[in-house]
C-alpha cells in the first residue's frame, strides 16, 4: 500500500477553494480543503446539516460565528467543533501561503 500525503498535489494557484473528499461513509465525510486567500462572500453564512470538526494543518484563517463580534483565529494545530446549524463564515485565509484544512462532517 502506498501512503497518501495531505500536502501533496496542491495546485500552484487557486481561483476557488479546493474541496477534496478523502473518506466517506453513511454518517460521515472527511475532506481536505485548500484555501489561498479565499473567504466566504460577505453576507453569506454556512448553515450545515451535519456537525463539522475542522483542524487547520497549514496556514492561518479567521472563522466567525454568527453573533460573535470577533473571528476565531486558527493556526496550525488548532481545531474547532462546529455544531450542526451553527452559522459561521470564513472571514479570511492566509493569502501568501496555502491554508490546508481537514474537515470531518458527521451525524450524531
Give the tens place of pLDDT for each residue, 48-96: 999 999 999 999 999 999 999 999 999 999 999 999 999 999 999 999 9
Instruction: Tell whether 13 is covered by a domain.
Output: no
- pLDDT computed for residue 100 by the predictor: 97
Report yes or no: 56 and 98 within 8 Å, Cβ to Cβ: no
Kindly report the CATH number assigned to the domain that includes residue 76. 2.60.120.10
Instruction: Tell whether 12 is covered by a domain.
Output: no
- pLDDT computed for residue 7 by the predictor: 92
Mean pLDDT over all residues of the chain? 95
- What Rg value do the Cα atoms of the chain yield, rounded? 14
For residue 52, give its domain range: 18-106
Predicted confidence (pLDDT) per residue in 7-36, tens digit: 999 988 888 899 999 999 999 999 999 999
| pTM (2 d.p.) | 0.91
| H-helix segments, the chain | none
- pLDDT computed for residue 16 by the predictor: 87
Amino acid at each position: 500500500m502506498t501512503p497518501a500525503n495531505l500536502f501533496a498535489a496542491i495546485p500552484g494557484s487557486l481561483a476557488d477553494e479546493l474541496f477534496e473528499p478523502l473518506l466517506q461513509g453513511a454518517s460521515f465525510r472527511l475532506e481536505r480543503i485548500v484555501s489561498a486567500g479565499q473567504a466566504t462572500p460577505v453576507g453569506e453564512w454556512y448553515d450545515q446539516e451535519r456537525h463539522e470538526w475542522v483542524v487547520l494543518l497549514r496556514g492561518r484563517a479567521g472563522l466567525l460565528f454568527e453573533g460573535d463580534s470577533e473571528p476565531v483565529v486558527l493556526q496550525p494545530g488548532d481545531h474547532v467543533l462546529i455544531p450542526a446549524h451553527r452559522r459561521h463564515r470564513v472571514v479570511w485565509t492566509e493569502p501568501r501561503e496555502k491554508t490546508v484544512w481537514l474537515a470531518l462532517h458527521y451525524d450524531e
